[in-house]
Structure 1
Amino acid sequence: MTERIWEDLLSERDEQVIEKAGYDKEGASSWESRGMGENPMVLVIDMQRLIVGEDVPILDAIEEYRTAMGEVAWNAIDHIEPFLDFARENDVPVTYTRVVPSSYDDPDHPDLDIVEPVAPEPGETVVDKSYASAFYGTDLLSRLVRGGHDSVIIVGNSTSGCVRATAVDAKQNGLSVALPQECIFDRIEASHKIGLLDLWMKYAEVLEAEEVREWVETL
């Protein structure tokens, strides 16, 4: 049973609404927001130096890059790295995104590099994007269609920003979405919890990483 990290934010009425409206079992009523698919791709969202920073408290990391999350990111990397190893061992393709801010004239600037513990392996795709969603202005959907993928497993950051936008667009393009919650992070704890709650209610399966592994092993 997944430990729902947002439950400490819910009032008694919130809990009653979720249960009575069936969000805890069925998700959104207007479309199938639950389900895992049969041929997933892992999407690694924006694990770059200017976002990850050094493995130090976030307030110290911000001194180098205002977007850096420091130990918040590195705590997630401790889970992302073995999850990616598992995906590769089980022949689940891994695709990366890289956000290239308009403030950077050089798309090859070292600040934009994906950090080493979770860096792409030879042959893995890196999709550059300019906005939050990995689908907007990119060829990601075409890659998923060509590969016959019906679902995505999203890891990376940030829960309330690029992960959310990518998950919503994935669902709107007919894909199932799974979020291993230990592998996702945000600089604001409240945004992280609320973002996962919203995604779980309407767009995605939010599970512990071990539960996602168990699902992959059944494919």
Structure 2
Amino acid sequence: MTAHVWDDLLSERDRQVISKAGYDEEGASSWESRGLGENPLVLVIDMQRLIVGENVPILDAIEEYRTAMGHVAWEAIDHIAPFLDFAREREVPVAYTRVVPSSYDDPDHEDLEIVEPLAPAADEPVIDKSYASAFYGTDLLSRLVRGGHDSVIVVGNSTSGCVRATAVDAKQNGLGVILPQECVFDRIEASHRVGLLDLWMKYAEVLETEQVREYVASL
């Protein structure tokens, strides 16, 4: 059974509502919100220098980039990097997104680069976006359709922002969504935990990374 990061936030009434309404077994009642799929793509969300920063406490990282998360991001990288290697070994395709803020005139600025431990392979696409969702204003959906993918495994940041927006849009486009909970993160711990709870109840499978590895190995 998955040990979810939000478990200790729930009141007894919350637990009863989740159980009685069937969210723990079936997710949302209005659409099929759970399901792993048979041909996933791993989507790495916005693991860039200006968001990751140096491997220092977050309050120190903010001194260099106001968007940086420092040690919070690097803790997740320790899980993301080996998971990407695992997926590649099993020929599960990997794609990346980069957010390009309007304040940057040069899309090739070093601040916008994917951090080295997660650098994409030469044949892995990097999709630029201007807004939270990886689907909005990009060709991601077309890429997924062309590849015959029925689901996405989403890693990166932030749980309450770009990960959430991407997961919701993926579900609304008929795709399964899998979130390895150690591989996503947020600058605010409360937002991270509650965001994952909301996504699990309505839009996504939220699993421990080891469980996602088992799923990938079974494909």
- Scaled by the length of structure 1, the TM-score of the pair is 0.99
Matched, 1:187 2:187: yes
- The residue identity in structure 2 corresponding to 1:209 is T
**What whole-Å deviation, never above 9, does each CA across 1:79-99 have from its counterpart, x for those lacking one?**
000000000000000000000
Matched, 1:50 2:50: yes
Matched, 1:214 2:217: no
Q: Which runs of 5+ in 1 are unaligned?
A: none
**What whole-Å deviation, never above 9, does each CA across 1:18-47 have from its counterpart, x for those lacking one?**
000000000000000001000000000000
Matched, 1:24 2:31: no
Q: RMSD across aligned C-alpha pairs, in angstroms? A: 0.4
Distance in 2 (alpha carbons) for counterparts of 1:89 and 1:216: 10
Query: Secondary structure of the residue that 1:64 maps to in structure 2?
Result: coil
Residue 157 of structure 2 corresponds to which residue in structure 1?
Answer: 157
Query: Secondary structure of the residue that 2:86 maps to in structure 1?
Result: helix
- What is the deviation of 1:4? 1.0
Distance in 2 (alpha carbons) for counterparts of 1:160 and 1:177: 15
- The residue identity in structure 1 corresponding to 2:199 is L
Residue 175 of structure 2 corresponds to which residue in structure 1?
Answer: 175
- The residue identity in structure 1 corresponding to 2:118 is V
Q: Which runs of 5+ in 2 are unaligned?
A: none
Residue 89 of structure 2 corresponds to which residue in structure 1?
Answer: 89
Query: Secondary structure of the residue that 2:62 maps to in structure 1?
Result: helix
Distance in 2 (alpha carbons) for counterparts of 1:198 and 1:45: 19
- The residue identity in structure 2 corresponding to 1:109 is H
**What whole-Å deviation, never above 9, does each CA across 1:181-215 have from its counterpart, x for those lacking one?**
00000000000000000000000000001101111
- The residue identity in structure 2 corresponding to 1:112 is L
Residue 118 of structure 1 corresponds to which residue in structure 2?
Answer: 118
Distance in 2 (alpha carbons) for counterparts of 1:168 and 1:85: 26
Residue 103 of structure 1 corresponds to which residue in structure 2?
Answer: 103
Distance in 1 (alpha carbons) for counterparts of 2:54 and 2:149: 35
Query: Secondary structure of the residue that 2:106 maps to in structure 1?
Result: coil
- What is the deviation of 1:217? 1.1
- What is the deviation of 1:71? 0.2
- Scaled by the length of structure 2, the TM-score of the pair is 0.99
Alignment of 1:69-88 (within 5 A): 69-88=69-88
